[in-house]
Amino acid sequence: MRRLTLAAAVLAVLFTHHAYAQDVPDAAPLSPPHWQSEGAFGSYDKAALQRGFLVYQTVCASCHSANALHYRDLDALGFDTAQIAAIASGVKLANGPATLDDSFKNPYPDPSAAAAAFGGAIPPDLSSFAASRPHGTRYIFDLLTGYAGAPGDVSQLPNHYFNTAFPGGQIEMPPPLKDNQVSYADGTKPTAAQEAADVAAFLTWAADPNLDSRKEIGLRATLFLIFLAFLAIATKRKIWREAV
């Protein structure tokens, strides 16, 4: 009986830990870079996701599409219906203002037009970009903050920029972020590094919007199996004790 009581106590503590884990504020994402969604018990920080969406909408959306996302999906970031409607109505599509059921605007629906605008290099869709790269969240942050002067032994290609995170070191995309490029409503200082951390968090959510619910289901299943293990051990010992 005491073992069963102990098992129930462990379950209660772990469930309580999980309930509070989602409310923990983002812990110093820049020193060193860290995101609340990382780790087995991690969950998305909605404040960071909202800031990241602002960066995407202000900076990235002029070149990059995110076709898998709809404006209605923004409710998962903590926006209410009125806020989402206001965001969508501010986006002009070919047939008028966007609605909640529209996909995120594609700035270049014609690939040939995109190729012509960017010298043959078509900006990738960002819907699943984070999932398509190893350590995608960190890669996005490193890419956006990795611009530097090319070393003396590097022959710079025309219209390219040196980037320490990009494979090969040379990328056609100019540095997209700079300090104070957006204005955060929550008072967070919009340094270029903070903007990079926030948009990396948003793109991670875009690629894996079910992370929170998946981890919660996995945790509950694990805890249930632990409880069953305690129950099985206690039952086995009781049966064998009575048999003897």
Please report whether residue 46 resides in a domain: yes
pLDDT of residue 235: 83
Please report whether residue 2 resides in a domain: no
pLDDT of residue 2: 40
Please report whether residue 8 resides in a domain: no
Q: What is the mean pLDDT of the chain?
A: 84
pLDDT of residue 24: 40
pLDDT of residue 23: 42
CA distances 174 to 64, 118, 152, Å, are: 14, 11, 20
Please report whether residue 81 resides in a domain: yes
Please report whether residue 16 resides in a domain: no
Give 134's strand partners.
none
Domain that holds residue 158: 36-229
pLDDT tens per residue across span 10-66: 334 334 434 433 444 444 556 667 788 777 777 889 999 999 999 999 999 999 999
Antiparallel, parallel or unpaired: β 92-93 and 170-171: unpaired
Give the total number of structural domains in the chain.
1
Please report whether residue 190 resides in a domain: yes
Name the nearest CA neighbour of 29 among 42, 41, 16. 42
Please report whether residue 12 resides in a domain: no
pTM of the model: 0.78
Please report whether residue 136 resides in a domain: yes
Which CATH number fits the domain that encloses residue 165? Answer: 1.10.760.10
Which amino acid would we find at residue 65? S
CA distances 176 to 7, 147, 170, Å, are: 52, 10, 15
pLDDT of residue 240: 82
Residue 19: both structure tokens together: 């309930």
Phi-psi region of 69 (alpha: psi -120 to 50; beta: other; left: phi over 0): beta
Which amino acid would we find at residue 41? F
